[in-house]
Structure 1
Amino acid sequence: MLLSSRANMKILRPEELLELIVQYGDESVFPNLRIAIQIMLTIAVSIASCERSFSKLKLILSYLRASMGQGGLCDLALLSVEREEIEKTDFEHIIDQFASVKARKMIPTPKFPPVGLAAEWGVHKTKKGFPTVPLIFVEVGCGSGVVSAFVTAMLGPSACYLCTDIHHLAAECTLETATLNRISLCPVITDLVSAFLPRLESAIDLIIFNPPYVVTSSKEVGGSVETAWAGGKDGREVILRFLDKLPSLLAKGGRCYVVVLAQNGPEELLTKTRRKGLLVSCVASRRVGIEHLFVLRFLQQ
């Protein structure tokens, strides 16, 4: 009766039929048809949402994030699923708010705690071991430049502060860090210390190196983004290349501090370098999350 009285109406989609039943009838009119249409209109959306969530989890939970907690995983999954809304967000405003609240973490100054394990030992021991402030300081793999900024602020402006990184964005970030802290840093885009040889042979007083020490395949070493963490086999391919050049860089009495991971084999690295004529020792160790870190010191006799 309901449909026959409106035979002239042209219904093309299921939602139009459902709207007609709801508008001109009550729950007793075609109850099974109404339920079937509602299920048909909603089941596809429900299944798609679940499938999309599982697909996103496979992308987010990679081997590099194997230690991620449940809270962080849920947050990243939500951000990924709701990407359309996230793209409308003004991240510059959020960063500015975070910087104003967490200023101590964003801009290192001498008043704040040390910003790196190697930097802590490098500055502390250098002040005690050198009769004067070192003339030439080099940080290899400067990244954001916060370690160099900390060392510069602690040792004073009398030395020449150089830092290297293979990525141009790291050099730009280091310059920005130096500007914010009103200090002078000279970032150099180069592979390890290649740009300094042979001009600075036996001339550098202090070197700090926080290398890419994560155990990865050799293919990942030297990639665009992977250079920040990929250490290759045993996580020490980059470390060994650096240690081969180290004896020719350090001045008499010069020293170098390198951060390594337990998986890198600190004792074996010390043994290899001791054969090159350097005095070597492990001066500090610390657990940071799941990582067991060591600071190795290399001293030119």
Structure 2
Amino acid sequence: MGSNHKFNLSRPPGKNICFRTKSWFNIIFSRSSEMRQGRWKLGIGVLLFIGALTGWGSTAYPNGQKQIPEPIPGPGRVFLYTAKKFGVPILKASIKIENGSSEQGKPLYRVHASVDSLHYFGFLFRMNNRFLSTMQAETCSPVRYVKEIDQEGLLMKKKNYIQTLTFDASHQKVVVEKKGEDGKQEISLPPETYDPLSMFARYYLRDEFHPGEDIRISLYDGMKLRQMVFHSKKEKVKSKMYGEVEAVCLESTTSFSTFGDKEGIIRIWYTNDREKIPILIELDLPIGIVRFELEEVREG
């Protein structure tokens, strides 16, 4: 995997695939067997991303200023998600993967993500969070991860800050900087530790796993180093748009600092076919279940 890999955006999903033109994460960097195998691990990264956005928690810092640029037009896709609680939409989330950038002559991927509350919940909570992960194109090893958090309301603590993680894989460490604060924090990490978005990219592109297998993951999101184990199994699940489908479910238990480090469960179901399309993501939180459903995919 290197700079020669390109986004193949011209081929629509086949008619026998559950999600046709509205496939979430139907990104094809290459038609090689290596890339096809990577789709098996796509769901893990999505779970980690959603968990980081909605419950793992962070410390608030004042006077946050916008630092993450908007995604640029070009090769890539934007994937749209709707989160619901008790069947009511509460959040909109998006991810865009870009290729074609470089630093110091090395090809990079950039993954933009956002999560926004819907306006009619403004008196209860307002959320306008942005994330940007930059990673090496050949290995998907994280280079830099920026979090721009802006949220407040009756149902959540006010948070307004910018945090930057700079990864140094060769020395197995990360440097954490907080906008508006002096000094940097240096933290040692296990080998192959990722941020949530670079983990998504890695497990979209990398090795295959099979239902029944346990997948171990090392993740650092700026607050806590997590050693997570995902269990996988086959089962049928009802999709809002496509009825009952055969799917693979990934499930892991983790603590959520927003809820006093109480444990919750993260699950994802994706189609058990060569496309491996996520059809439902579920967070079983101490406050109840939040479900994320595929809405739309946009080009460029």
Q: What TM-score do you get using the length of structure 2 for normalisation? A: 0.27
Q: Which has the higher contact order (CA 8 A, sep 6+)?
A: 2
Q: Which has the higher helix share?
A: 1
Q: Which has the larger radius of gyration?
A: 1
Q: What TM-score do you get using the length of structure 1 for normalisation? A: 0.27
